Amino acid sequence: MGRLERETFTSNFGLLMTMIGVAVGLGAVWRFPYMVGKFGGAAFVLFYLAIVFFIGMPALMAEWTLGRHTRRGTLGSYEIGRLPCGKYIGAFLFFIVFWATGYYSNAVGWVGFHALGEIINAFGGNLNTSAILPPEEGFNLTSFLLQLVMTAFVIFTCGIVLIKGLRKGIEKTSKWIVPTLFMILIVLIFRSVTLKGAGQGIDWYIGSFNFSALTPSVMAAALGMAFFSMSLGGTFMVIYGSYLDKQANIPKNAVFTGIAASTAGLMAGFAIFPAVFSFGLEPSSGPGLIFSTLPKTFELMPLGWMFGLIFFLGLFGAAYLSDVAAFEVLVGGIVDNTRVDRKKAVLTICSIVYLLAIPPMINFKIFVPWDLIFGSGMQALGSLFAVITAAWCIKRSNALKELSEGREEPFPLFLYWWIRIVIPAAILFVGINWLLESIFHIKIFG
């Protein structure tokens, strides 16, 4: 199986906007704030930032190295990279992305429906945005039908971008959405921190750090969050790494991407927690922080509909780019390994994903395990395979060459050994902790 000549990014700005768009997603703007709420605020934030720098960025370098060296995505990169059973491991991760993209597209649809609700409510309507959320158990026809429509809209619009390819579709879209997202977060932060009583939320978020709060469970959660927020999993970043040209500086771009992804999460926290505390709501309300607690905050805020609208539009943009990346893993896999053209591959993939999105629409008893298995747990496993392939299976000289391209100095050898030894150990820690706590309900630490 040979290497492919393929489309590359038109500019470093386009490259960064695309990579940041993939990394931010729902992870930074939705999952990061509720994880901060769940794990007690400042202690989690500080450790998460350390993990992004010491673990997340080097792992991202490894995934991009694997993609650029092999010029393949999930299907093909592990086999060409000479990972034992790489052909089958790549196929396994490829099919995992199918299942994960289905439920993720549903969640993107929820965000879009909440944005639509803010528009309708601004004109005097009364759209119950929570109606789209699946019931905890059983079946709700209204929720199911709304999800069918919104998920179809999300997948259809992803398909339009994907048919246009990397430069005219994915890169061009990212150049618009990513800067807009950060501008939206700045506007929301200004409004949130100027509310009466906002100082209590800021203090809870970043000012009340104490070492006793930094328990092993909090550390494990921060480690897992870093992988989630940077879209590490041996899939998204591998396929996008295959589109990097030889002038792209992998270490520098990994640092910029890690900083941007963590900054987006931090900004989302500043936009959310001061407002939540200002109106006396609960910061530790879990996944419902965005879809339940925050809409109540907007209702109580002057011109809340406007701030609610721009928040959910920004969140939709971030989630949308990550969904496009997930589809690109699948489309790229088909185009790289068959004679099917891109347009037909996009139509086929979108149809299959839509069918797979239906089961988790039914209720949260299906959706939540779907997320834990195909999202959180498999991301750690996929990233482990990618790092092992890049650092142990690809010849050291070839890996160091990829990591040194575009740099004036050779890639530091100590950092290469850090990627070889420390990163796999950290990912194993996250994976074992996830497996024991989520599947077997056993806590390693108290």
pTM for the complete prediction? 0.90
Report the alpha-carbon distance of residue 31 to residue 60 in Å, rounded. 20
More confident residue, 274 or 285: 274
- 375 pLDDT band (50/70/90 cuts)? low
By C-alpha distance, which of 165, 384, 196 is closest to 274? Answer: 196
Domains present along the chain, CATH in parentheses: 12-439 (1.20.1740.10)
**Residue 126 one-letter amino acid:** N
pLDDT, tens only, 66-77: 999 999 999 999
Which residue do the tokens 């299959």 mark? 352
Query: Mean pLDDT across the stretch 172-179?
Result: 90
Inter-residue contact 177 to 21 (CB < 8 Å): yes
| Higher local confidence (pLDDT), 325 or 444 | 325
CA distances from 36 to 123, 273, 287, 431 (A): 34, 10, 11, 20
Q: Terminus-to-terminus CA distance in the chain, angstroms?
A: 48
Asked whether residue 2 carries a pLDDT value surpassing 70, the answer given is no
pLDDT digits (tens, 9 = 90+) for 385-433: 999 999 999 999 999 999 999 999 999 999 999 999 999 998 888 777 7
Q: Say whether pLDDT at 361 is over 90.
A: yes
| pLDDT (mean) for 251-270 | 92
The three-class DSSP label of residue 73 is strand
Task: Tell me how far CA of residue 156 lies from CA of 113, 323, 349, 432, in angstroms.
Answer: 15, 12, 11, 37
Beta bridge partners of 73: 76
pLDDT at residue 444, rounded to an integer: 66
Residue pLDDT, tens place only, 280-318: 877 766 566 777 767 777 877 777 888 888 888 888 988
Supply the pLDDT for residue 381: 84
pLDDT at 427: 83
